């Protein structure tokens, strides 16, 4: 299993050594999940910038978190849906430039949708999902769909019905604060379609991204359920100080795997 820590792309374009120093902990090197949260910065990269990234990240296992702010590939407004799909394609092309084989994307579902609106959104979403999956495969990338606001499994079931090979990233913090149910419910339901996880903590009131142990995400139960998944990548979505605070909990829960 690959253990990683997230880094925003902008961190990797300035003072790389400083920003990667905390990836060396517990006697090992944690990989890097590059978060493309700023599409404007992504679009500004030239060949020299890509060459620097390849050089600076050599020796680190990599994955990419595709852009997510404001995106909605199932949006009724076609301009917004087109822009969203194009932006995610740009992220997949970034993966290809860095020879990264795993990318995470949010489902982009809005937080609140009425029943009629949900069904219409789903139809539009599935059409674009299929195109994005084809684009990802053409670039040698395994696309992993991350839960965000979903409270139940009906979206995931529809995605699997469309394509049984759909893979998921389980964000345990999102489950705690948005779904309000145990993360093991998602593990039991999705099983070996879960190949990626995002790990952080909260108390159910917001998506705090706290250090492990500061909130009440049930990590012992999650770790015990991991054999029911096909997990190949686990990412600590924590800032450097919060990763440092989390290290005793990481060693406690994941020590035999690291």
Q: Where are the domains of the chain?
A: 2-254
Which DSSP state fits 65?
A: E
CB atoms within 10 A of CB 182: 17
- Nearest CA among 59, 127, 125, 102 for reference residue 197: 102
Q: Which residue is associated with the tokens 């019905």?
A: 161
Burial class (CB in 10 A: 0-12, 13-18, 19+), 111: exposed
Provide CB contacts within 8 A for 72, sequence distance 6+.
80, 81, 84, 108, 109, 110
- pLDDT tens track of the chain, all 258 residues? 999 999 999 999 998 988 999 999 999 999 999 999 999 999 999 999 999 999 999 999 999 999 999 999 999 999 999 999 999 999 999 999 999 999 999 999 998 888 889 999 999 999 999 999 999 999 999 999 999 999 999 999 999 999 999 999 999 999 999 999 999 999 999 999 999 999 999 999 999 999 999 999 999 999 999 999 999 999 999 999 999 999 999 999 999 888
3-class DSSP state for residue 69?
Answer: coil
Main-chain dihedrals φ then ψ at residue 187, nearest 5 degrees = -65, -45
Provide CB contacts within 8 A for 104, sequence distance 6+.
33, 63, 64, 65, 66, 144, 145, 146, 169, 196, 198
Query: Dihedral of CA 92/95/101/105: which sign?
Result: negative
Burial class (CB in 10 A: 0-12, 13-18, 19+), 43: exposed
- The domain made up of 2-254 has a fold known as TIM Barrel (3.20.20)
């Amino acid at each position: 299993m690959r253990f990683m820590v997230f880094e925003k792309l902008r961190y990797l374009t300035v003072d790389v050594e400083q920003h990667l120093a905390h990836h060396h902990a517990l006697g090992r090197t944690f990989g890097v999940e590059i978060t493309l949260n700023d599409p404007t910065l992504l679009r500004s990269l030239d060949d020299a910038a890509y060459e620097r990234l390849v050089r600076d990240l050599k020796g680190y296992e990599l994955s990419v978190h595709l852009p997510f702010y404001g995106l909605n590939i199932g949006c009724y407004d076609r301009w917004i849906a087109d822009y969203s799909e194009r932006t995610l394609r740009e992220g997949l092309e970034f993966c290809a430039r860095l020879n990264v084989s795993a990318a995470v994307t949010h489902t982009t579902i809005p937080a609140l949708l009425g029943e009629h609106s949900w069904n219409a959104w789903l139809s539009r979403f599935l059409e674009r999902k299929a195109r994005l999956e084809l684009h990802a495969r053409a670039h040698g990338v395994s696309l992993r769909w991350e839960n965000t606001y979903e409270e139940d499994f009906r979206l995931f079931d529809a995605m699997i019905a469309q394509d049984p090979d759909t893979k998921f990233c389980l964000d345990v913090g999102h489950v705690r604060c948005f779904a309000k149910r145990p993360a093991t419910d998602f593990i039991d339901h999705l099983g070996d379609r879960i190949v990626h996880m995002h790990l952080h903590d909260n108390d159910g009131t917001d998506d705090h991204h706290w250090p492990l142990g500061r909130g009440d995400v049930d990590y012992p139960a999650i770790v015990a359920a991991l054999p029911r998944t096909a997990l190949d990548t686990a990412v600590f979505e924590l800032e450097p100080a919060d990763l440092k605070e989390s290290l005793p909990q990481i060693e406690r829960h994941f020590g035999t795997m690291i």
